[in-house]
Amino acid sequence: MTDRVIVGALGGAFGVQGELRLKSFCADPAAIADYTPLYTEDGRSFAQLVLTGQLKNGFSARLDGVVTKEDADALRNTNLYADRTRLPSLPDDEYYYSDLIGLTVLDTGGTTLGTVKNVMDHGAGDLLEITIAGQSETVLLPFTQEIVPTVDLSAEKIIVNPPQGSLPD
């Protein structure tokens, strides 16, 4: 799915008329409706998304083909993807999460530490989840300019300057 980028997630039914709870991952959350058609990981597509209301952590929405509470509940915890070509281009210092996953992580001395497993947003800032070679547990590093001074998408690598004690010995 490298030609598609995750733009949101469905949280199940909102009411009994087929409306859904929707969390948008877009910089402008309401812009998710502009990126249709949207796709699920299993290939299902939705040609239309209509935002019907604002909720505490997202929106209520309608998707074409979803008309009952049971239809909506069947989509609980489903990620929505948009074609990369429908999304705006980003400034040099911003990245789509999907572009970072799988990149090789090196320290400032050039030693390979591992790979980016995931990128998470917990509200206070993004975190990189890094799989360290030979370790069963992952490491979380803040995705800040100080800790991640270089992201080179063309070379598929990230240079990190981790705080002392944040990596296993």
pLDDT value of position 68 = 94
Please give the average per-residue pLDDT across 103-119, as a whole number: 92
**Does 166 score more than 80 pLDDT?**
no
**Residue ranges of domains in the chain:** 4-85, 97-160
Please give the average per-residue pLDDT across 79-105, as a whole number: 88
Q: Residues of the chain with pLDDT > 90: what percent?
A: 63
Over residues 12-26, the pLDDT tens digits come to 899 988 999 999 988
Place of tokens 């999304």: 87
CA dihedral 106, 112, 115, 119 (to 10 degrees): -20
Confidence band, pLDDT 50/70/90 cuts, at residue 1: very low
CA dihedral 93, 99, 101, 105 (to 10 degrees): -50
CATH superfamily ID and name for 4-85: RimM (2.40.30.60)
* pTM for the full predicted model: 0.72
pLDDT value of position 2 = 63
Q: What CA–CA distance (Å, rounded) separates 95 from 91?
A: 8
The highest-level CATH class for domain 97-160 is mainly beta
Mean pLDDT, rounded, of the chain:
90
Asked if 99 and 153 touch (Cβ cutoff 8 Å), the reply is: yes
pLDDT value of position 95 = 86
Query: What is the rounded end-to-end Cα distance, in angstroms, of the chain?
Result: 35
**Does 96 score more than 90 pLDDT?**
no
**Does 55 score more than 60 pLDDT?**
yes
pLDDT value of position 99 = 86
Over residues 120-139, the pLDDT tens digits come to 877 778 899 999 888 888 99
